[in-house]
Amino acid sequence: MASSEAQYESDDGMDAFMDKFKTQRYKNAFSENNWEEEFDKIPMFMKTAPEEIDPKTHPELACIQAIIHDEDRPPEEQAKSLKDEGNAFFKEKDYQKAILCYTAGLKKNCRDQEINTVLLTNRAAAHFHLGNMRSALNDAAAARKIKPDHLKAVIRGAQCFIELRTFAEAIQWCDEALKAHPTDKKLLELRAAADKHKRAAERDARKAKAKERKVHSEKEALLAAIKDRGVKLLESVKPRQQGSDSEEEDEDSSAAISQLSLDGISSKEVTGAQVFLDEQGSLHWPVLFLYPEHQQSDFISAFCENTCFIDHLAVMFGEVAPWDTDRKYHPQNLLLYFEDEQMETLYQINSDASLLKVLQHKRFFVKAGSPSFIILVKGSPFCTQFLIGKKIHGL
């Protein structure tokens, strides 16, 4: 045979070649200085493969690669080599590269569906480990389409469904596969896990709904309490109509009430407080005291509607406020006003009055969910100046 003869020939050549060294030294040997580097260049002894294989620097590797990916080989073989290469990357947890190999393998469009199923399932696994659940699921589904009871594909798909929180599908896939593999532990486990997750998710949905319902009914109760008292809320967004008679006012306030959520939340964002109904059925309002003379303000986060202004003032000005340099502010010598913005009128308030009584005043409108009051010092020059040119409604 020709080939075996050629082998003899080359063996003869080898003998002659080897015999030469009995008389002369081998010149191409590795030197003591760079033998380690040289060894690393030989595929068999390489510790790591280079990222890119350049035929110039690594001719041997390029040859091997050419053999593996020989375009002349049947697509089945090529796909299988690519699968093996992908598996090698997979083992080293280089999932990106593994995916490239499996994809290249699939592109060979080989007729062996067994290999295609494995390529798809393996690519699904690589995607899964990268957290690409959608891609993983697509591959698992494609593999399952080719081979409906392919256990690995079903298991991977069910895992993806669980990760994607579509538990019903996970259960369905498991049930389908359990027909062919009724006692498979992994399938049974996955089914149980999916079922448990599904029921927990359903509970969470019910709980969220119940909470929403509770918040809603609390808000309804709050709005009803405000409306029952005849307290009027002013919409901050919508401009109020001019010249309101009592009936119109009513309409406006109900519109404003429906708007409370907006106002309430906005006040909450700024100050962290919102009007609330306590267990005894009293309302507590976030209230702002403004001191224009000093451009200062006080914020009372929960002013019970049944307490009087003087109670709060007594506490606040029991001690001198840090900004009150002239020590003018005493609970007894303060003038309280609220402003009717629409009519541009200031209404004076008796400090012995309860908050509720003031809020029920026919010209009082709660703005931005939080009533505010102007406080001046009786007889002070600023007070006189401040009130000049304003419409005042005294006590």
Residue 206 binds another protein (CB under 8 A):
yes
- Of 163 and 195, the one with the shorter C-beta distance to another protein is 195
Question: Residue 76's closest CA among 107, 101, 102, 111?
Answer: 111
Counting Cβ atoms within 10 Å, is residue 240 exposed (0-12), middle (13-18) or buried (19+)?
middle
Specify whether the CB–CB gap between 103 and 120 falls below 8 A: no
Q: Which of 3, 52, 182, 319 binds another protein (CB under 8 A)?
A: 182
In this structure, what are the phi and psi dihedrals at residue 287, rounded to the nearest 5 degrees? -125, 140
If one asks whether residue 207 binds another protein (CB under 8 A), the answer comes out as yes
Q: In this chain, which of 12, 175, 212, 352 binds another protein, going by CB under 8 A?
A: 175
φ and ψ of 42, to 5 deg: -85, 120
Identity of the residue, 161 or 291, whose beta carbon is nearer to another protein in the bound complex: 161
Q: Of 30-38, 54-62, 188-196, 231-239, which part binds another protein (CB under 8 A)? A: 188-196
* Two structure tokens written together for 137: 């699921």
Task: Identify the bridge partners of residue 276 per DSSP, sorted by sequence position.
Answer: 284
Smallest distance from another protein to CB 151, Å: 15
Residues 282-321 that bind another protein (CB under 8 A): none
**In the complex, least distance from residue 189 CB atom to another protein, rounded to whole angstroms:** 10
Measured at the alpha carbon of residue 96, what is the angle toward residues 90 and 100, in degrees to the nearest 5? Answer: 90
Query: Under a CB-based contact definition with an 8 Å cutoff, are residues 380 and 332 in contact?
Result: no
Instruction: For residue 216, state whether it binds another protein (rule: CB under 8 A).
Output: no
| Inter-residue contact 376 to 383 (CB < 8 Å) | yes
Strand, coil or helix: 69: coil
Q: Does 203 bind another protein (CB under 8 A)?
A: yes
Q: How far is the CB of 264 from another protein (least distance, A)?
A: 24
Q: Which of 56, 93, 179, 327 binds another protein (CB under 8 A)?
A: 179
For another protein, which stretch binds (CB under 8 A), given 31-39, 126-134, 209-217, 307-315?
A: 209-217
Beta strands of 36-174 (E only): which ranges? none
Q: Indicate whether 199 belongs to the interface with another protein (CB under 8 A).
A: yes
Q: How far is the CB of 253 from another protein (least distance, A)?
A: 30
Binding-site string for another protein from residue 134 to residue 173, where x marks contact by CB under 8 A and - marks none = ----------------------------------------
* Binding to another protein in span 339-378, by CB under 8 A: none
Q: Are 42 and 60 in contact (CB under 8 A)?
A: yes
Residue 202 contacts another protein per CB under 8 A: yes
| CB 137 to another protein: min, Å | 23
* Beta-bridge partners for 308: 354
**d(C-alpha 191, C-alpha 173), whole Å:** 9
- 35 burial (CB, 10 Å; 0-12 / 13-18 / 19+) is exposed
Residues that bind another protein (CB under 8 A): 175, 178-179, 182-183, 188, 191-192, 195-196, 199-200, 202-203, 206-207, 209-210, 213
